[in-house]
Amino acid sequence: MKKDKKENINKENEPRLQPITDILETNFMPYAMSVIVSRAIPEIDGLKPSHRKLLYTMYKMGLLKGDRTKSANVVGQTMKLNPHGDQAIYETMVRMTRGNEALLHPFVDSKGNFGKQYSRDMSYAASRYTEVKLSAICAEMFRDIDKDCVPFTPNYDGTIMEPVMLPSAFPNILVNASQGIAVGIASNLPSFNLVEVCDCIIAYLKDRDINIADYLKCLDFSTGGYAIYDKAELESIFLNGRGRVRLRAKYNADKKGSHIEITEIPYTTSAEAIIESIIALVKSSKIKDITDVRDETDITGLKITIDVKKGTDIDKLMAKLFAKTPLEDYFSCNNNVLIEGKPLLLGVKDIIDYWIVFRVECIKRQLRYDLAKDRERLHLLLGLERVLLDIDEAIRIIRNTEMESEVIPNLMEAFRIDNLQAEFIAEIKLRHLNREYILKRLDDIKDLNNSIKEAEETLKSRTRIENIISSQLMEIKTKYGQPRKTEIIYEEQMEEEFEEPAFEDYPVRVFFTKDNYLKKIRDIDFKQDVDNKFKNEDILLHEATSHNGAELVMFSNKGNVYKSKLYQINDCKPADFGEYLPNICELEKDERIIYIAITDDFKGNMIYLFENGKGAKVPFKTFWTKQNRKKMLNAYFMGSKLLYLALLDEKDESSYVAITSDQRALIFKSTDITIKDKRDTQGITLIKLKSGTKVTEMLPLENARLKDVDKYRPVNVPAVGKVLSDKDKKRKQVSLFD
């Protein structure tokens, strides 16, 4: 009996096993959602909760106007909304200050040492020593907040109401950079120039079809430097919310060429990281022209000084430093934003759309607030108007009423007004019972009627509300706009330094298959009488003879181009299947390579033929870049299905045929297609299509197996084509990508 009891006790003390899925759902998921929704990801006003709580606290403290106060006072008051430690709150404030220089348009006007965005080791002073107030631009963040333009919610203990979002009369989410790391999701929002953003949205409100890139030239950061213009990456940021922009430091050299001064650096790095990387290069003897490097940052701003040997080519040295140190770095955009409590990856265009919706609702709420106040005021004045018609009677009623409590009922009965109107009349001072006061109140009635009518019409008109947004943005741009801090440079303006790694160059044979295998075989290992193996049912699409130092250019079905040197691809034996390109190129889901070209000089033209009957021809040199880029976006037009592409010799005059779904054919030459310099051009129309039809085949004439060839040659291109003859209708359809 005792033994059984002891066994039961032991079983009770054993830990209860739970499925890991239950633990994740009950413990981890609520925490993860809390971090995503309530801490790390900004909302459409561009603020995280910690920033919003701190700024609203300063606003309620009256720090939008007046003198600065000690930072410690603000930190203490913020704890009423943000129950975190004082150090965490103070660190949040530091990044928003003018002194820290982390934001293009700082929210906090500061006095004292707040460290620097560009320095890793420069510590900020304690909160008891520094002073702060709100910057002038915060007036736009709080515009009309006291007019119920945004919803409010109770704070953590239910004692104070705080705004769910700030009204943000300008798109702060695009103007000030923001970074956040949540659980399983991160956000890295870039900053753009305020003037460019305002101009862009004003134009967008007039015409939704504008090209955003015409207004937002490139990213703009508080640390200045250069942004290297990359059209494809910027378009990806504008449309998809992801992409990266190359940033480069700004430098100048003295006339004697004895030293270099770095005065502006990429937003993503620090002076200490740059100095450490330069020292490491010098110690490893990879750079021998530098004699000393030191940080000379002072009250005037950042300065890194590099002493160099006499006769050093400064431009070539800087090109090496850009290639090997954080003097050149990337800002990777990851535009995750909370929209109605859900994290969404948004392109800049989507952010603008959501911000406009947000501002429209703010203005509607503000108009409804003002409208309710005007109607309330009008209601009181209409009661006063009735009384003013016989003011002597009102005075007589008040004078002859014995009980004070009966004054209101007697006025209500005599003039047929309600309680609110009677209270308002009874409170009028005796000194106001004169002609001037009476006439002014009657004029107020007229003004209020006009104001109410105007507000009601505005509330019904989206166009009017958008005009208000435009006028506010124009006002903000004029008042707070500033020139770009980050200058834009283009690839052709730059000196690049790329060291080709040592490799053995030798003749090779290259084979590319439909299943995306690439086989590179040394020419000495390739024997005609040895079986060259491929996977079962795989088809050889391309075979070429080249050398190990040539460049491999690969086109994908997603409109991207991937580049690699042949020496970076492993050598294979004839018995091998080859290298699987999706692994080498890190292709996206459902992406595959559809064509390869091997080149040394990027001579020739790429020809593209599309399902919509159009063809494009682009110089192959458009895919050459100074820097060693492995991926290029928007390699060709994606608005119609691609049926054929190939690299042609510059003097090529080959003939091609287009065959339509309604059994018509047209033969044209490559010379009929004009050359365009834009990689993703849609080209020109080659065959005119009837409604509801499309091109089913576009291919070289010799591959089409047509019998009546002369029948399908038009006098001029474009043309409608000729109906296929009976014997040509029986031919087997050929497709490059099936």
Query: Which residues, 6 or more positions from 404, have their beta carbon under 8 angstroms from its beta carbon?
Result: none
pLDDT at 625 over 80: no
Calpha distance 354→553 (Å, rounded): 39
* Residue 341 banded pLDDT, cuts 50, 70, 90: confident
d(CA 711, CA 725): 9
Which of 732, 720, 731, 670 has its CA nearest to residue 695? 720
Shortest CA distance to 224 belongs to which of 498, 587, 485, 574? 485
HSE of 417, CA atoms in CB hemisphere, 13 A: 27
Closest CA to 566 of 558, 554, 583: 554
Residue 79 structure tokens:
């704890």
Bridge partners (DSSP) listed for residue 642: 610
Q: Which of 129, 156, 490, 580 is catalytic?
A: 129
How far is the first Cα of the chain from the last one, in angstroms, to the nearest whole number?
78
Say yes or no: 364 and 321 in one domain. no
Other C-beta atoms lying within 10 Å of the C-beta of residue 715:
5
Residue 404 lies in a domain: yes
Query: Does the residue 411 lie in any domain?
Result: yes
- pLDDT at 393 (0 to 100): 87
Alpha carbons 513 and 543: distance in angstroms, whole number: 9
Model confidence over 664-695: pLDDT tens digits?
Answer: 999 999 999 999 988 889 899 999 999 889 99
Give pLDDT, residue 12: 57
Q: How far apart are CA 598 and CA 544, in angstroms?
A: 8
How far is Cα 322 from Cα 226, in angstroms, rounded to an integer? 12
pTM of the predicted model as reported, rounded to 2 decimal places? 0.71
Measure the CA angle with vertex 370, ends 368 and 376; round to 5°: 100
Closest CA to 105 of 136, 130, 74: 136
pLDDT at 686: 94
Written as six digits, the tokens of 27 are: 């413990």
> Residue 512: beta bridge partners?
518, 542
Whether residue 69 is found in the same domain as residue 150: yes
Q: Where are the alpha helices (DSSP H) in 416-434?
A: 419-426
Are the C-beta atoms of 710 and 636 separated by less than 8 Å? no
Please state the rounded mean pLDDT for residues 413-428.
90
Q: Which amino acid is at 595?
A: Y
* 346 in a structural domain: no
pLDDT for 111 equals 96
Mean pLDDT lowest among 225-229, 434-438, 636-640: 434-438
Q: Tokens in use for 665?
A: 């054919």
- Separation between Cα atoms, residue 143 and residue 145, nearest integer Å: 6
Encoded amino acid at 572, one letter: C
Tokens of 6: 């002891």
Please report the pLDDT score of residue 628 as a whole number. 67
Active site residue 129: yes
Indicate if the pLDDT at residue 308 is higher than 80.
Answer: yes
Are 466 and 507 in the same domain?
no
- Cβ neighbours for 30, distance < 8 A, ≥ 6 positions apart: none
Whether 471 and 402 map to the same domain: the answer is yes
Question: Tell me, what's the pLDDT at 70?
Answer: 97
CA distances from 545 to 63, 524, 533, 549 (A): 73, 12, 18, 12
pLDDT-derived band of residue 82, with 50, 70 and 90 as boundaries? confident
Closest CA to 360 of 260, 466, 278: 466
Structure tokens at 683: 């080209």
Averaging pLDDT over each range in 79-83, 90-94, 584-588, 677-681, which range is the top one? Answer: 90-94
Q: Is the per-residue pLDDT at 309 higher than 60? A: yes
Number of domains in the chain: 5
* pLDDT at position 108: 97
Is 461 found in the same domain as 539?
no
Continuous segment of H or E residues that includes residue 384: helix 348-388
- Cα–Cα dist 564/713, whole Å: 40
Residue 254 DSSP SS3: coil
Q: pLDDT tens-digit profile of 104-137?
A: 999 999 999 999 999 998 999 999 999 999 999 9
- Angstrom distance (rounded) from CA 246 to CA 332: 9
Range scoring the smallest mean pLDDT among 103-107, 123-127, 259-263, 725-729 = 725-729
Provide the percentage of residues in the chain whose pLDDT is more than 90.
64
Work out the pLDDT band at 255, boundaries 50, 70, 90.
Answer: confident
Work out the average pLDDT over 326-340.
Answer: 94
Half-sphere exposure of 281 (CA within 13 A, CB side): 23
Phi and psi, residue 67, nearest 5°:
-90, 165
**Kind and range of the H or E element at 290?**
strand 290-295
Answer yes or no: is 621 within a domain.
Answer: no
Residue 624, in any domain of the structure = no
Is 36 a member of any domain?
no
Task: Answer yes or no: is pLDDT of 182 > 90.
Answer: no
Distances (CA, A) of 96 to 15, 109, 122, 296, 526: 48, 9, 16, 25, 65
52 and 130 in a common domain: yes
Residues 78 and 132 in one domain: yes
**What is the domain-level CATH number for residue 436?**
1.10.268.10
Are 54 and 159 contained in the same domain? Answer: yes
Q: Give the separation between CA 24 and CA 672, rounded to whole angstroms.
A: 63
Give the separation between CA 652 and CA 701, rounded to whole angstroms: 14
CATH number, domain with residue 265:
3.30.1360.40
In a domain, 220, yes or no: no
Say if residue 377 is in the same domain as residue 440: yes
Same domain, 472 and 509: no
Query: Do 702 and 613 meet the contact criterion of CB atoms below 8 Å apart?
Result: no
**pLDDT for 93:** 97
The predicted pLDDT at position 19 comes to 80
Of 150, 166, 182, the residue at which a domain comes to its end is: 166
Q: Are residues 584 and 659 in the same domain?
A: no
What pLDDT band is residue 363 in, cutting at 50, 70 and 90?
very high
**Rounded to whole angstroms, how far apart are CA atoms 130 and 69?**
8
The Cα–Cα gap between 262 and 326 comes to 12
Contact 129, 69 (CB under 8 A): no
Domain boundary among the residues 143, 166, 189 is at 166
Q: In what order do the strands lie in the sheet with 695-700?
A: 695-700, 655-660, 664-669, 722-723
Q: Chain-centre distance of CA 336, in angstroms?
A: 9
Alpha carbon separation from 630 to 111, 430, 516, 553, 673 (Å, rounded) = 47, 85, 18, 9, 29
Query: Band of the pLDDT at 4, cuts 50, 70, 90?
Result: low
Sheet with 178-181, side-by-side order of all strands:
178-181, 186-189, 328-334, 242-248, 226-228, 487-489
DSSP letter for each residue of 210-228: --GGGT--S---TT--EEE
Name residues whose C-beta falls within 8 Å of residue 293's C-beta, 6 or more positions apart in sequence.
Answer: 275, 278, 279, 282, 304, 305, 306, 307
Which one-letter amino acid corresponds to residue 627? Q
Give the model's pLDDT for residue 660: 94
Domain end among 600, 629, 650: 600
Whether the CB-CB separation of 122 and 102 falls below 8 Å is answered with no
Co-location of 542 and 651 in the same domain: no
Tokens found for residue 501: 């790694």
478-536 pLDDT, tens per residue?
999 999 999 999 865 565 555 556 788 999 999 999 999 999 999 888 877 667 888 88
Within a domain: residue 487? no
Phi, then psi, of 518 in degrees rounded to 5: -120, 125
Burial class from Cβ neighbours inside 10 Å (0-12, 13-18, 19+) for residue 23 reads: exposed
Q: 736: domain range?
A: 640-738
Residues in the chain: 738
Q: Is the pLDDT of residue 736 over 60?
A: no
Average pLDDT, the chain: 89
